[in-house]
Chain A
Amino acid sequence: MLEIKNLKASINERSILKGLNLHIKPGELHAIMGPNGSGKSTLANVLSGKKGYEITGEINFEGESLKAVSVEERAQKGIFLAFQYPLEIPGVNTNNFLKTSLNSILKAKGKKELDTLSFLKLVKEKSSELGIDEKILSRQLNVGFSGGEKKKNEILQMKILDPNLSILDETDSGLDIDALKIIAKGVNSSRDDKKSFLVITHYQRLLEYIKPDFVHVLSDGKIVRTGCGELAEELEKTGYKKIN
């Protein structure tokens, strides 16, 4: 699914990722943990194709290099990034946006685009599955949403766009326990032997609800340890300092 080899990324001549290797197979859920400033969000940004980074190394998605692939093409190929800080887009209706987004992805895949009625049916189904109040979808995209609503909206987008690889950038931070469960439910209900996840988090808390296949510790731009679920528990007790 995703293969990263010796990835280096810098911004404004400041080096952030310093030779990162990661291999995610279809159906796997990987968690990346690490202290502040270790490069977690940079990894998410680089995978989404965000401009402004100097990049060397290889990123292959489903056997194809992403080097020359634009942000929207990555999305169309099935990469989804749930933002740490989802942006507020005034004047843009959430439902209209979601429909445009879904249809541009369906179109790129050569699939039939959805009409408004079938789209709304899909939204209703997915939002009730997650226990999200549909009303927020008739509002402007993320405008005036609470922190929890923004994150839930990201997960709803993930459910609707149905990507092969979902990257969750600190989706759990700032959430209360109920919202956390909704997020976890969104992820768990999507897991199958084809879909992969990269869950970036500070805390072990989320991993009590989402069981990872692998846990990696990112420190100073590199993965310094890899283990299974127990590694996260160990980190919770010892902190990141001991790991280095």
Chain B
Amino acid sequence: MENFEINSDQIDKIEKITTKEKDFRVKNLKLFQAAGFPNKNLEDWKFSDFKNIINNNFEELKCKSHSETINKLDLIKDFEHNYIFLVNGNLYSNNFNYEDINKIKINSYDKSLEHQKTDNSLIHLNHALADNGFSLEVEKNYKFKKVLVIYNYFSKNIKNKILNNKSKIKLNENTELHIIEYTINETHNKFINNSYENIYLCKNSKLRNIYLQKNKSEGFFYKFVKNQLSSNSNYLNFIFSSGLKFNKLDIECDLIGENANCNIMSALHLGKDEHQEIKTFINHLQPNCKSYQKVKNVLSSESRGVFQGKIFVKDIAQKTDAYQLSKALLLNDNAEFNSKPELEIYADDVKCSHGSASGSIDEDSLHYLMTRGLTRENSSKLLVKGFLNEIIEIIKSPTIKKFVETKFEEQIYGH
């Protein structure tokens, strides 16, 4: 597919929009059309040539969103939870039976037109066409009793679709929420999911967010997440999204209040022809904030893992404590890991460190395990598991940890 054109009548098909919203969409569509899909000539996309990947994988692309009826929701039975069920990005159903529903506001996609300026054409495309997603707000002083699972379900008939979703999560003062974003894939066809998410944490709020896949997918995923962290807020994001054909997570985090704390932890195991990028941009804008990022990749045959991590420290952000580490274990000569750490620091009393290491599996360690009767294959599996366990071990709840572990192994070994 060489050229991807979208007619502006796509916007006319979106229901119930104001003139102002329409103008916003038209303006963004023009920006997208001028730039096209991002390619490797752009610094942010140098390791993930999206345009080229899309051209090589799609003959055509259709933009219309796709709604569908599902007979039975296939819910997780391992633990009690609240849920939001999205079908192809569309808010299909939700259930907050374990909570005080007066404290929770849930709506379809975020219609706000206030977004920061960007030169990212996928965001322009999202602004132009997104007409589903969800918007969740938690009233102040409310702490969720049970975890919230956001089922991100992709149905069978979305061949060659490009689905644009826009979501928002706002936690007001003194709130707490644990989310598992659980992607379920029913289709064997290729599609693109371009999503945009705003997360706003008010004072003293706490959000834990786990990204996890139920199964492998032929989907091409791009997600931009903008986090704003007010004072004393705490954000912890786990990324276990292995098994996707293409996935780029673009996470921006603004630490806008003192003592805000941002943690991004990732453990990925990529298989043949899988490409995954995690790009982070942590903005330390106030003093005494902490950020901690640890990304671990296991890369098997012809897979590619990318980590681009930038830490920015504003001149007034004294006593910043920022840490970033990426590690890759390459199981095959044809696997590739690219890492680009960046620090931009304008304050003088800060603690910032970064590191990156990649290598193959240690032969001596393998030998040690084999002398105890384990086959080479099992020894290797054990070492890989050990490498990734460091991240999984951080999950506090034993039930959730067990669930993540099981799903993760299913993704890797297919059982």
Contacts from A to B (Cβ < 8 Å): 48-51, 70-72, 74-76, 80-81, 83, 86-87, 89-92, 97, 100-102, 104-105, 108, 140, 157, 161
Contact = CB atoms under 8 A, between A and B. Distances in A.
Interface of B: 362-365, 367-376, 378-379, 382-383, 385-390, 393
A92 B386 contact: yes
Contact of A157 (B370, B372, B379, B383): B372
Contacts of B368: 83, 86-87, 89
B294 to A, nearest CB: 13
B373 A72 contact: yes
Contacts of B364: 87
Given A51-B363, A89-B368, A104 B378 contact: yes
Given A71-B367, A87-B364, A87-B368, A161 B373 contact: yes
Contacts of B388: 91
Nearest to A80: B371
* A-B pairs, 6 with minimum CB distance: A91-B386, A91-B389, A75-B373, A101-B372, A71-B370, A92-B386
Nearest to A102: B373
A100 B371 contact: no
A86 B387 CA distance: 18
Contact of B374 (A72, A83, A140): A72
B383 A105 contact: no
10 contacts: A48-B367, A51-B363, A75-B370, A89-B365, A92-B385, A92-B389, A97-B372, A101-B374, A104-B374, A157-B372
A92 B382 contact: yes
Given A75-B373, A90-B389, A105-B373, 18 more contacts: A48-B367, A48-B371, A49-B370, A74-B371, A83-B368, A87-B364, A87-B365, A89-B382, A90-B386, A90-B390, A91-B386, A91-B387, A92-B383, A97-B372, A101-B373, A104-B374, A104-B378, A108-B373
A50 B386 contact: no
Contacts of B393: 91
B177 to A, nearest CB: 29
Of the listed residues A48, A80, A92, the one surrounded by the most CB atoms of chain B closer than 10 A to its CB is: A92
Contacts of A74: 371
A104 B372 CA distance: 9
A48 B374 CA distance: 13
A71 B386 contact: no
Contacts of A104: 372-375, 378
A100 B363 contact: no
Nearest to B385: A91
Given A97-B382, A157-B372, A90 B387 contact: yes
B174 to A, nearest CB: 36
Of the listed residues B371, B373, B387, B389, the one surrounded by the most CB atoms of chain A closer than 10 A to its CB is: B373
A71 B383 CA distance: 17
A8 B382 CA distance: 33
A171 to B, nearest CB: 14
A72 B383 contact: no
A51 B367 contact: yes
Contacts of A72: 370-371, 373-376, 379
Given A87-B364, A104-B378, A76 B389 contact: no
Contacts of A92: 382-383, 385-386, 389
A34 B184 CA distance: 62
A51 B365 CA distance: 13
Contacts of A90: 386-387, 389-390
A97 B371 CA distance: 12
Given A90-B390, A91-B387, A91-B389, A50 B374 contact: no
A199 B382 CA distance: 29
A83 B372 CA distance: 11
A80 B217 CA distance: 44
B367 A50 contact: yes
Contacts of B379: 72
Contacts of B386: 89-92, 140
Nearest to B376: A72
Of the listed residues A86, A90, A101, the one surrounded by the most CB atoms of chain B closer than 10 A to its CB is: A101
B371 A81 contact: yes
Nearest to A71: B370
Given A72-B374, A72-B376, A104-B378, A89 B390 contact: no
